[in-house]
């Protein structure tokens, strides 16, 4: 994770990101977001990262949302 911090992906409810979702977020950043940032040459903002089930339901997310997996 070169350009991003895990804090950027935290659920807005303040719940803890489970280990499996942390691993997925790290893979997403390493394989997609950092390379895109490198190519773009400018910062990229994360406006919705991990969501716990409660927060996902509150914002109208689908029950199988990739947000809940950190993807």
- Report the sign of the C-alpha dihedral through residues 4, 34, 11, 47, in that order: positive
pLDDT tens per residue, the chain (71 residues)? 999 999 999 999 999 999 999 999 999 999 999 999 999 999 999 999 999 999 999 999 999 999 999 99
Closest CA to 8 of 35, 33, 40: 33
Q: pTM of this prediction?
A: 0.91
Looking at 1-71, which runs of residues are DSSP E strands?
Answer: none
Residue 25 tokens, joined? 């977020």
């Amino acid at each position: 994770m070169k350009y991003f911090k895990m804090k950027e992906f935290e659920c807005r409810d303040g719940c803890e990101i489970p280990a499996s979702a942390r691993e997925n977020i790290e893979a997403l950043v390493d394989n997609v977001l950092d390379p895109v940032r490198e190519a773009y040459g400018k910062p990229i903002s994360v406006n919705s990262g991990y969501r716990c089930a409660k927060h996902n339901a509150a914002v109208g997310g689908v029950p199988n949302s990739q947000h809940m997996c950190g993807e």
